[in-house]
Amino acid sequence: MKPLSAVSTLVSCLAFALMSMATQPAIAAIKMQLCIDTHFTPVGESRNLPPDSRETLEVTLADNYTSVESTQENEIVDFSLRRRFQIDNESKTYVEYSLYSTVGFRILELQNRQKMHQLFNKMFEPGTPQAAQFPSGEHGAIDDEHNLSICIPGTSRNIVMTEKGDERIYTNENHQLARWRINGVAVNAADAQRFVKFIRFRVGGHPEILKRVAEEKIIPDKMVFTMHDMLSLCSRTLVITNIHTTDSASYNLAAYSKRKVSPSANKLEFILDQAESRSPKAIEADKSAKRKAIDTVLQKGKIFDRLLGSLELALMGEPLQAFPDSQLLLMKTEPSITKFTKAMGAKTRDELKMAVQTLVDLRSQAYTKSYLLKLFEASYRLRLVELDTAKNLFLEVLQSNPSLAGAYNDLGGLLYMRYDTPGAWRCWDIARRIAPQFPLSDKVNKLETSLVESFPEYF
């Protein structure tokens, strides 16, 4: 795709300026075509780099959302709902993700890269080829912030802008980060911010550079971002054409349905897809069935299952009911409950390992609730950083009871530890839908509040 000529750019600027003068309100939406060429150059002796690629996108920048269309899939980012919809064009299905997961991942990855820089500082002597391949100090920090489009809190970077011909060039100590042509389409401040927001999500770019791009109030016809990391030099060239206005100020998902993955394809995705499609009526029916089940096990004298049933309801968001004195007396003399209570008090690593074995042994003594013992075991294995085993246990539990908010909450924590922030927030959102007042969700609520306060540009 060729960039706009100087004449066509001038005509576009004039036509667009007449429609979007600063004294007028922001237009309903801007549409444009975008071609992104990505090229990787190895750093040092790096091998197995990603192949070069080209994307052709149709982009809509509206007041509350951004839409990106390609041949295979579309993406809609709804800032008012703080949701992201990933649409598969072939199957006509979509998956809904939390917008918090995007900035959440970038923070985790930024923290991870900071730790890696500290490690490499200790491993490699300054001035060696290895030290050059793994830059530290401000160079390394700026590269990370540029790649992830997020700043280390409390820092200020020396990014210099110079003009060369019709280009703005942004560097840090002759370390080129980005450049873009002054040629383009003039827009108002609100539309400039929407364009920059799109670039932040789709491409990256240092926040300081994106701030200056927005201040120019121009959508350039060409931009180049140079991303340095530990293995390669990545160059992303954006050619922007056919910029025009549209009356469409909304999007419509009516032609698509929520995705339902096959259980054989991906058990985690299957369980989450199923959980998101369940109605409030189905969730309430589960809770009602569990209440009745408690009466049934009591009639059969299964006091251990009575205790586990009450805990299960609490993990589904129900208030924990008080036990009558007659039942408390039975619990005090029940050996399985004595073992279970001791296991629940585990704190040290050795105690956790012993508690795991106790929970495994107790499965045969739980008449109908052995799967709930797997939930407590999974939480302990999570604390022991046995992540694969813990994940499989969580999934087994959710297959037995798909309305266990506590299981989704803890599975979300596991996925977050593994940098799968989209999956983590799906779990947390499901948990809060099942049990809106679930106490364990408070940490997630506070995390989301802190993300909005610290990084408002993403919302």
Encode pLDDT of 383-410 as tens digits: 999 999 999 999 999 999 999 999 999 9
Answer whether 234's CB lies under 8 Å from 40's CB: yes
The pLDDT score that the predictor gives to residue 158 is 87
Look at residue 131 and tell me whether its pLDDT is greater than 70.
Answer: no
**Phi, psi of 238, deg, nearest 5:** -110, 125
Question: What span, in angstroms and rounded, lies between the C-alpha atoms of 138 and 277?
Answer: 47
The count of C-alpha atoms lying within 13 angstroms of the C-alpha of 59, restricted to the half-sphere facing its C-beta, is 25
CB atoms within 10 A of CB 193: 20
Look at residue 1 and tell me whether its pLDDT is greater than 60.
Answer: no
Look at residue 320 and tell me whether its pLDDT is greater than 70.
Answer: yes
Those residues whose C-beta lies under 8 Å from the C-beta of residue 396, and which sit 6 or more positions away, are 371, 374
Per-residue pLDDT band for 6 (boundaries 50, 70, 90) equals very low
pLDDT in tens, 145-182: 999 999 977 788 889 999 998 899 999 888 899 999 88
Question: What span, in angstroms and rounded, lies between the C-alpha atoms of 225 and 37?
Answer: 11
Out of 63-77, 116-130, 171-185, 243-257, the most confident range is 63-77
Per-residue pLDDT band for 430 (boundaries 50, 70, 90) equals very high
Per-residue pLDDT band for 368 (boundaries 50, 70, 90) equals very high
Look at residue 252 and tell me whether its pLDDT is greater than 70.
Answer: yes
Answer whether 30's CB lies under 8 Å from 187's CB: yes
Look at residue 128 and tell me whether its pLDDT is greater than 80.
Answer: no
The pLDDT score that the predictor gives to residue 138 is 59
Question: What span, in angstroms and rounded, lies between the C-alpha atoms of 408 and 397?
Answer: 10
Closest among 130, 111, 129 to 120, alpha carbons compared = 130
Closest among 367, 402, 400, 362 to 380, alpha carbons compared = 362
pTM score, two decimals? 0.87
Question: What span, in angstroms and rounded, lies between the C-alpha atoms of 258 and 86?
Answer: 10
Lowest mean pLDDT among 124-133, 184-193, 214-223, 257-266: 124-133
Per-residue pLDDT band for 123 (boundaries 50, 70, 90) equals confident
The pLDDT score that the predictor gives to residue 26 is 46
CB atoms within 10 A of CB 176: 14
pLDDT in tens, 72-106: 899 999 999 999 999 999 999 999 999 999 999 99
Question: What span, in angstroms and rounded, lies between the C-alpha atoms of 371 and 352?
Answer: 19
Closest among 14, 458, 30 to 242, alpha carbons compared = 30
Look at residue 318 and tell me whether its pLDDT is greater than 90.
Answer: yes
What the chain holds in terms of domains, given with CATH numbers, is 6-257 (no CATH), 262-458 (1.25.40.10)
Q: Which residue has the higher pLDDT, 264 or 13?
A: 264
The pLDDT score that the predictor gives to residue 49 is 86
- Rounded mean pLDDT of 316-326? 91
Q: What tokens does 255 get?
A: 């032609």
Q: Which residue has the higher pLDDT, 140 or 452?
A: 452
Lowest mean pLDDT among 33-47, 106-120, 125-139, 197-211: 125-139
Calculate what percentage of the chain has a pLDDT beyond 90: 73
Question: What span, in angstroms and rounded, lies between the C-alpha atoms of 117 and 236?
Answer: 24
